Chains A and B, each alone.
Chain A
Amino acid sequence: MAQTVRVKVRRQDEPGAKSYWQEFDVPYTQGMNALTCLQEIQKNPVTVSGQAVAPVVWESACLEEVCGACSMRINGIPRQGCSFLVLDPQKPLTLEPMSKFPVVRDLIIDRSRMFQALLDSHSWIDIDGTHDLGPGPRQSPKDQSWMYVLSRCMTCGCCLDACPQVNEKSDFVGASVISQVRLFNAHPSGKMHADKRLDYLMQPGGIVDCGNAQNCVKVCPKEIPLTQSIAEMGKQTLAYGFKRFASKPDLEM
């Protein structure tokens, strides 16, 4: 018989339901990844005990680690399913939904809080319109090179999932949006609206809730220097806090 991989999946039938485990044996092929295993289950949705079940559901899109859709916990670690290669078929694979987001079903989770954070934090560059206004501001190749790294954030949620400060008792917004604010505040025209973003980071659940566990940077699939971003925004919010405090009476006219 052809070689197989044992896949253990934590399943959940609908939002709020209890989770349970199922195990599958799927045929091994060289170069396969965690999502290929799930595709094999679709083609033969039968557990190791011979029970016919509904195929496992999950989110995915690009399958090349640029869209951020297929985040899940693989062998306990939050990461992208598509780029997790099954190198040793002897080792069982454990797939679970990420733990810090509401489960929709099986491995599908609701990450809408992350998009809401981008909305609330004014994470965009304001433009006067799409009509022709000529080129944008000049930037040095050096600035482009570090800003480009930050702008590769896929909103995948791994950094939130790994963060001990993100839990049901806390409102902590997590590392990704803090790093996005750093990006927009560094942009030559984005910095004109830096205050709005700093106000956001200084709200409850903002940057002071970071506990410096540094898990975020370890799990980021794009190797974004998230802890550097948090440190930088810590400085910016501190400076802004002093300025805001000092200038307040003058503004009230």
Chain B
Amino acid sequence: MADEKRVIIVGGGLAGLMGAITACENGLSVDLVSYVPVRRSHSVCAQGGINGAVNTMGEGDSPDFHFDDTIYGGDFLANQAMVRDMCYDAPKVIYLMDRMGVTFNRTAEGLLDFRRFGGTLFNRTAFAGATTGQQLIYALDEGVRSWEAQGKVRKFEHHSFQSIIKDGNNNCRGVVLTDQYTMESFALKANAVAMCTGGIGSIFGKTTNSVICTGSAASRLYQQGVWYANGEFLQIHPTAIPGTDKNRLISESVRGEGGRVWVPKKAGDPRPGRDIPVNERWYFLEEKYPAYGNLVPRDVAARELFDTCVNQGLGVGGRWEVYLDVSHIPHATLHAKLAGVLEIYEKFMGEDPYTNPMRVFPAMHYTMGGIYIGYGTETSRKGDLPGHWDHYQHMSNVNGLFAGGEADYQYHGANRLGANSLLSCLWAGRVLGPQMAKYLEANSSLGDCSDSEASSHVQEQETAYGAVRKMTGSENAFRLQEELNEYMTKYCTVVRVNADLQKLDAKLDELLDRWEAVGLHDSSTSSNQELIYIRELRDRLLLSKVICRGALERNESRGAHYKPEFPTRNDADWLKTTIASFDGTRNPQFSYENVDISLIPPRERSYKAASHGGQESK
């Protein structure tokens, strides 16, 4: 008899770890699965902070303003009820992390310090230097360890998710994993599984994401019939430093602390940035957006940077770079609040950002789309929500399969506001534990998944690995990946043109064909990364189809999805969630669902002036 109180959480970032803790608090035992030791999950890369309207700065901020900023920032594509719940919970989440020992920056009075981020006029972002994500995940990693010490959490680190075990009645009954060291595949059984597997950055190659954000888990789920929503919505972060292996993030908090974006007024000005006088600098964001200035939301900033460099040819030295300048800010302030990120710039660019303007350009950063999940009946506005199977919050269209964090599609709509990602991950984790407990209790008659069901799912994976082991073609998977990255970045990021998307779609078909001709160089049965990678590459290609074709279909501009051919938002036709489902072919099937706009009526989105949804603004 299996342990009916056991759940599986795949992914040990903020959402997964918080989910593990709340699951334990709800009397469940947790099998925690991770590609890497959980402490190394991609959440460590989050720099700037976490939003919550604590209003310790006396600005009159409130969760309602936070809610409005988030919905408006997301260009009204986010379902509203759960966003409101998240914003109301945000101050409590920050206090909880404070209690767990996160070394948040402090005010003179010993309270939590808050700074400004994009898309808001309030100081709403709590932070721990410029490595907030790292500090949050360490506190949670340690918190989970306290449950591990009690025998409530079993970790499966260095394990790669392969598939869910799905029975004939659309119930999730467990997962199949591959041990990355021994290469053995095996099943774990549980009737509730939460996928907290993060974003899909590897599809774009050089991004701000960690290399472990492979996109494979999301794609495998999609290939098993799990719906994938709003795939075409991806966040391009305006300020990253281009590198040979990845583009490293320069946090929005740099602008929150007063960093200014500019280019030389004279195209191709050969002088070093620090030698160019202020009156010969064009602070284009401040000029175009007087209310928000350098802190316009990321989609707006990325488009402006792109336009300045690519269309106007005003990039630094004629290149695709703009200056992000903090050299006017006192050294001590920079050190106390931004040292972590400035250190990254210095280490990788070999230039001192305390005295030289940094050179940055937009890069793929965050996956707004993701696994389709329900709202649940516990949200503040039940009854008037779209969706038709809304029994459990964060549960996908497969019973017992939950998702949270960057892996799901909720909360951020068409554009995520800075410092809302850590919040949405932690909030999802707070929801997951109680929801899984509730689901298991209501479905206790399901019993244990049969051994034959589990072993047939393991066998499927063994067969797939066996096929790759026989691949002897001339194509190199790592090189195919580079071609995928190049095309996706070129045609499916800041600007999207239908003719280009069609070219991209044809390229994806070509790469899927060429994938069949990949050769495996590594025949080892120990830590065979190439074997895993080749299968993941195909997963990425199929998920790229969802992104590309979803973008092709959506003939409007909304948030991060910008089509010059259709430059305005079209609520009449496109105020809809995109839902992609897999029918066994390369091309996804799309359906569309209305968005919950029950709380804030959609209005025109412009950051030229302050906007608080008609409410009294400060």
Which residues of A approach B to under 8 Å, CB–CB?
A: 13-15, 29-33, 35-36, 39, 42-45, 52-55, 57, 59-69, 82-83, 85, 104-106, 108, 111, 115, 118-119, 122-127, 129-130, 132-136, 138-141, 144-145, 147-148, 151-152, 154-155, 184, 187, 189-190
Known: A62-B44, A141-B107. A39 touches B478 (CB 8 A): yes
CB <8 Å contact, B521 and A13: no
Indicate which residue in A35, A105, A141, A155 contacts B39 across the interface (CB closer than 8 Å): A155
CB <8 Å contact, A129 and B25: yes
Indicate which residue in A54, A59, A64, A190 contacts B45 across the interface (CB closer than 8 Å): A64
**Number of cross-chain contacts by CB at 8 Å:** 201
CB <8 Å contact, A148 and B129: yes
Stretch at the interface among B70-78, B140-148, B305-313, B396-404: B140-148
**What's the nearest-Cβ distance from chain A to residue B516, in Å?**
19
**What's the nearest-Cβ distance from chain B to residue A199, in Å?**
14
B486 within 8 A of A: no
Stretch at the interface among B3-11, B318-326, B342-350, B598-606: B342-350
- Residue from the set B103, B105, B530 with the largest chain A CB neighbour count within 10 Å: B103
Identify which of residues 124-176 in chain B touch chain A, using a CB-to-CB cut-off of 8 Å.
Answer: 128-129, 131, 134-135, 138-139, 142-143, 145-146, 148-149
Known: A62-B210, A144-B106, A152-B134. A55 touches B111 (CB 8 A): no
Known: A62-B45, A151-B138. A136 touches B39 (CB 8 A): no
CB <8 Å contact, A63 and B245: yes
**What's the nearest-Cβ distance from chain B to residue A110, in Å?**
8
> How many residues in B have their beta carbons less than 8 Å from beta carbons of A?
72
**What's the nearest-Cβ distance from chain B to residue A191, in Å?**
11
CB <8 Å contact, B36 and A69: yes
CB <8 Å contact, B142 and A189: no
In angstroms, Cα B245 to Cα A83, docked, is 11
CB <8 Å contact, B336 and A132: no
**What's the nearest-Cβ distance from chain B to residue A59, in Å?**
7
In angstroms, Cα B148 to Cα A15, docked, is 27
Across-interface contacts of B527 in A (CB, < 8 A): 14, 57, 104-106, 108
Q: A54-B522, A55-B478 are in contact. List 12 more A-B contacts (CB 8 A).
A: A14-B524, A54-B523, A61-B44, A61-B211, A63-B211, A115-B39, A135-B98, A138-B109, A141-B108, A151-B135, A154-B39, A154-B134
**What's the nearest-Cβ distance from chain B to residue A7, in Å?**
15
B92 within 8 A of A: yes
7 A-B pairs (CB sep. < 8 Å): A15-B526, A31-B348, A55-B529, A62-B40, A111-B37, A130-B18, A135-B95
Known: A31-B243, A64-B45, A129-B25. A83 touches B111 (CB 8 A): no
- Nearest-neighbor residue (CB-CB) of A148 within chain B: B103
Majority secondary structure of chain A interface residues (helix, strand, loop or mixed): loop
B99 within 8 A of A: yes
CB <8 Å contact, B44 and A184: no
B468 within 8 A of A: no
- Residue from the set A126, A127, A187 with the largest chain B CB neighbour count within 10 Å: A127
B222 within 8 A of A: no
Which residues of B approach A to under 8 Å, CB–CB?
A: 18, 21-22, 25, 36-37, 39-42, 44-45, 92, 95-96, 98-101, 103-112, 128-129, 131, 134-135, 138-139, 142-143, 145-146, 148-149, 181, 210-212, 243-246, 248-249, 336, 340, 344, 347-348, 350, 430, 476, 478-479, 482, 521-524, 526-530
CB <8 Å contact, A64 and B98: no
Across-interface contacts of B107 in A (CB, < 8 A): 141
Closest 7 CB pairs of A and B: A138-B110, A124-B142, A136-B98, A125-B101, A54-B522, A105-B527, A14-B526
Indicate which residue in A53, A67, A154 contacts B210 across the interface (CB closer than 8 Å): A67
**What's the nearest-Cβ distance from chain A to residue B43, in Å?**
10
In angstroms, Cα B40 to Cα A85, docked, is 22
CB <8 Å contact, A55 and B131: no
Known: A52-B521, A63-B211, A65-B347. A144 touches B105 (CB 8 A): yes
Known: A33-B244, A62-B45. A67 touches B139 (CB 8 A): no
- Nearest-neighbor residue (CB-CB) of B243 within chain A: A31
Across-interface contacts of B210 in A (CB, < 8 A): 61-63, 67
Indicate which residue in B131, B139, B524 contacts A54 across the interface (CB closer than 8 Å): B524
CB <8 Å contact, A64 and B248: yes
Indicate which residue in B21, B37, B101, B212 contacts A184 across the interface (CB closer than 8 Å): B101
In angstroms, Cα B210 to Cα A61, docked, is 5
CB <8 Å contact, A66 and B44: yes
Across-interface contacts of B521 in A (CB, < 8 A): 45, 52-55
CB <8 Å contact, B143 and A67: no
CB <8 Å contact, A42 and B40: no
CB <8 Å contact, A83 and B526: no
**What's the nearest-Cβ distance from chain B to residue A26, in Å?**
11
- Nearest-neighbor residue (CB-CB) of B101 within chain A: A125
Across-interface contacts of A35 in B (CB, < 8 A): 245
Indicate which residue in B106, B110, B142, B347 contacts A123 across the interface (CB closer than 8 Å): B142
In angstroms, Cα B25 to Cα A130, docked, is 8
- Nearest-neighbor residue (CB-CB) of A59 within chain B: B36
Across-interface contacts of A31 in B (CB, < 8 A): 243-244, 348
CB <8 Å contact, A119 and B45: no
Known: A119-B148, A144-B105. A105 touches B244 (CB 8 A): no
In angstroms, Cα B34 to Cα A115, docked, is 15
Indicate which residue in B42, B149, B430 contacts A62 across the interface (CB closer than 8 Å): B42
Across-interface contacts of B142 in A (CB, < 8 A): 118, 123-125
CB <8 Å contact, A64 and B344: yes
Across-interface contacts of B96 in A (CB, < 8 A): 127, 130, 132-133
Across-interface contacts of B246 in A (CB, < 8 A): 63-64
